[in-house]
Amino acid sequence: MTAFTRRAGLGALIGLAATRAQAQGHAHGPIQAEAGWSRAAGAGRVGAGFLTLRNSGAADRLVAARADIARTVELHTHIRDGNVMRMRPVEAIDLPAGETVTLAPGGLHIMLIDLKQALRQGESVPVTLVFEKAGEIQVTLEVQSAGSRGPAAVGGSHRH
């Protein structure tokens, strides 16, 4: 947490020095993690984490994620297998220079395997993302209902 606080403070200083147009979101060097969310799920089951990653710097890669709430955390994608979409672990998620990558249902996601506790709607779950160059970034997943398609669908988490 100390490292996170220090990084957040540094981000605030950079934010002040830079244009106010960039004021929204949390700056952590070149990568911003925004709009993290998950879905309600029971203890012992699997959950998924979704979010948007904005990379304003050089190419980087998300190489791992950690979360205390799950015994195993993997990076997953979906692949089409005939008429069925199947999940498959990926070694890393590429973040090309200057691009935005969205982890969303039906695509890339953070898989929370064997939940130690239930993911309850309305709760916030901390997750640590590990990037090849940017290092560790803390994000929070806001837990939506079990069938949610995202925070926008329930009217929360508006960005300006």
Which residues of this chain interact with Cu ion, rule CB under 5 A?
76, 87, 111
DSSP 67: -
> At closest approach, how far in Å is the CB of 135 from Cu ion?
24
Give the Cα separation of 26 and 42 in Å (integer).
30
Residue in 6, 49, 2 with CA at minimum distance from that of residue 28: 6
Residue in 17, 113, 2, 102 with CA at minimum distance from that of residue 52: 102
> At closest approach, how far in Å is the CB of 11 from Cu ion?
30
> At closest approach, how far in Å is the CB of 87 from Cu ion?
4
> Is the CB of 87 or the CB of 130 nearer to Cu ion?
87
Give the Cα separation of 62 and 69 in Å (integer).
20
Tell me how many degrees the CA angle 64-66-68 measures, rounded to the nearest 5.
170
> At closest approach, how far in Å is the CB of 111 from Cu ion?
4
> Is the CB of 133 or the CB of 149 nearer to Cu ion?
149
Taking CB positions, which residue lies at the least distance from Cu ion?
Answer: 76
Cα distances (Å, whole numbers) of residue 66 to 111, 131, 139: 10, 12, 10
Contact indicator for 140, 110 with CB cutoff of 8 Å: no
> Is the CB of 63 or the CB of 87 nearer to Cu ion?
87
> Is the CB of 41 or the CB of 53 nearer to Cu ion?
41
> At closest approach, how far in Å is the CB of 59 from Cu ion?
24
> Is the CB of 111 or the CB of 130 nearer to Cu ion?
111
